[in-house]
Amino acid sequence: MTNQTQSSVAEDVKVYKQFINGEFVDTNSGSYYDVINPCTEEVLSQVANGDAEDARLALEAARNSQDAWAKLAACERAGYLKEMARITRENRVELATILAKEQAKILPLAQVEIDVTAEYFDYNAGWARRVEGEIIQSDNPKENIYLYKMPIGVTVGICPWNFPFFVMARKVAPALVTGNTSVIKPSSFAPNTIMRFVELIQGIGLPKGVLNVICGWGSDCGHALASSPITGLVSLTGSVEAGEKVMAACAPNITKVNLELGGKAPAIVCEDADLELAVTAIVNSRVIYSGQVCNCAERVYVHEDVYEQFMEMLVKRMSEVKVGDALAEDTPDMSSQISLQQLEKIEAMVARAVEEGCEVLTGGARDDRFETGFFFQPTVLANCRQEMEVIQKEVFGPVLPVVKVKDFDEAIALANDSEYGLTSSVYTQDANKAMKAVNEIKFGETYINRHNFEAIQGFHAGWRKSGIGGADGKHGMEEYLQTRMIYWERH
Ligand X SMILES: NC(=O)C1=CN([C@@H]2O[C@H](COP(=O)(O)OP(=O)(O)OC[C@H]3O[C@@H](n4cnc5c(N)ncnc54)[C@H](OP(=O)(O)O)[C@@H]3O)[C@@H](O)[C@H]2O)C=CC1
Which residues participate in catalysis according to the annotation? 260
Residue 403 touches ligand X, criterion: CB under 6 A: no
Task: Give the number of residues in contact with ligand X, rule: CB under 6 A.
Answer: 29
CB within 8 Å of 44: residues ≥ 6 apart: 13, 14, 35, 36, 37, 101, 102, 192
**Which parts of 97-136 interact with ligand LXHUK7UM (CB under 6 A)?**
none
Using alpha carbons only, how large is the chain's radius of gyration in Å? 23
Residue from 32, 69, 165, 166 that binds ligand LXHUK7UM (CB under 6 A)? 166
Contact between 157 and 176 (Cβ < 8 Å): no
What is the distance, to the nearest Å, from the Cα of residue 396 to the centroid of all Cα atoms in its chain?
13
Choose between 29 and 292: whose C-beta lies nearer to ligand LXHUK7UM: 292
**Which parts of 275-304 interact with ligand X (CB under 6 A)?**
294
Choose between 78 and 175: whose C-beta lies nearer to ligand X: 175
CB within 8 Å of 157: residues ≥ 6 apart: 167, 168, 170, 171, 172, 175, 182, 183, 184, 185, 235, 236
Contact between 215 and 44 (Cβ < 8 Å): no
CB of 156 to ligand LXHUK7UM, least distance (A): 16
Residue 261 touches ligand X, criterion: CB under 6 A: yes
**Which parts of 326-355 interact with ligand X (CB under 6 A)?**
342, 345
Query: CA-to-CA distance for 398 and 298, rounded, in angstroms?
Result: 9
Contact partner, 66, from ligand X, ligand LXHUK7UM, none, Cβ < 5-8 Å per class: none
The distance in angstroms from the start CA to the end CA of the chain is: 67
What 8-state DSSP symbol labels residue 83? H
Q: Interface with ligand X by CB under 6 A: which range of 59-67, 90-98, 183-191, 277-285?
A: 183-191
**Which parts of 153-182 interact with ligand X (CB under 6 A)?**
158-162
Contact partner, 246, from ligand LXHUK7UM, ligand X, none, Cβ < 5-8 Å per class: ligand X
CB of 463 to ligand X, least distance (A): 14
Q: Can the peptide bond before residue 453 be classed as cis, meaning omega within 30 degrees of 0?
A: yes
Contact between 460 and 444 (Cβ < 8 Å): yes
Residue from 87, 107, 214, 226 that binds ligand X (CB under 6 A)? 226
Choose between 261 and 402: whose C-beta lies nearer to ligand X: 261
Nearest to 255 by CA among 273, 234, 284, 278: 234
Residue 398 touches ligand X, criterion: CB under 6 A: no
Contact partner, 295, from ligand X, ligand LXHUK7UM, none, Cβ < 5-8 Å per class: ligand LXHUK7UM
Residue 162 touches ligand LXHUK7UM, criterion: CB under 6 A: yes
Q: Interface with ligand LXHUK7UM by CB under 6 A: which range of 163-171, 199-207, 317-325, 356-364?
A: 163-171
Contact partner, 473, from ligand LXHUK7UM, ligand X, none, Cβ < 5-8 Å per class: none
Query: CA-to-CA distance for 66 and 382, rounded, in angstroms?
Result: 54
Contact partner, 453, from ligand X, ligand LXHUK7UM, none, Cβ < 5-8 Å per class: ligand LXHUK7UM
Choose between 128 and 158: whose C-beta lies nearer to ligand LXHUK7UM: 158
Choose between 238 and 473: whose C-beta lies nearer to ligand X: 238
User: What DSSP string runs through 303-352?
Assistant: ETTTHHHHHHHHHHHHHT--B--TT-SS--SB---S-HHHHHHHHHHHHH
Contact partner, 411, from ligand X, ligand LXHUK7UM, none, Cβ < 5-8 Å per class: none
Choose between 131 and 461: whose C-beta lies nearer to ligand LXHUK7UM: 461
Residue 217 touches ligand X, criterion: CB under 6 A: yes
Query: CA-to-CA distance for 184 and 88, rounded, in angstroms?
Result: 17
Nearest to 77 by CA among 38, 17, 126: 126
Residue, CB closest to ligand X: 218
Query: CA-to-CA distance for 385 and 242, rounded, in angstroms?
Result: 28
Contact between 352 and 399 (Cβ < 8 Å): no
Residue 394 touches ligand X, criterion: CB under 6 A: yes
Residue from 223, 286, 317, 404 that binds ligand X (CB under 6 A)? 223
In single-letter form, the type of residue at position 477 comes to: M
- Helix and strand totals (H; E) in the chain: 15, 24
Query: CA-to-CA distance for 218 and 271, rounded, in angstroms?
Result: 45
**Which parts of 238-297 interact with ligand LXHUK7UM (CB under 6 A)?**
260, 293-295
- C-alpha pair distances (Å), 240 with each of 173, 259, 460: 24, 9, 16
Residue from 6, 138, 219, 483 that binds ligand X (CB under 6 A)? 219
**Which parts of 424-453 interact with ligand LXHUK7UM (CB under 6 A)?**
453
**Residues 205-244: x where in contact with ligand LXHUK7UM by CB under 6 A, - otherwise, as a string:** --------------------------------x-------
Residue 97 touches ligand X, criterion: CB under 6 A: no
Query: CA-to-CA distance for 289 and 381, rounded, in angstroms?
Result: 20
Query: CA-to-CA distance for 62 and 246, rounded, in angstroms?
Result: 20
Contact between 417 and 460 (Cβ < 8 Å): no
Residues that bind ligand X (CB under 6 A): 158-162, 185, 187-188, 217-219, 222-223, 226, 236-239, 242, 245-246, 260-262, 294, 342, 345, 394, 396
Residues that bind ligand LXHUK7UM (CB under 6 A): 160, 162-163, 166-167, 237, 260, 293-295, 453-454, 460
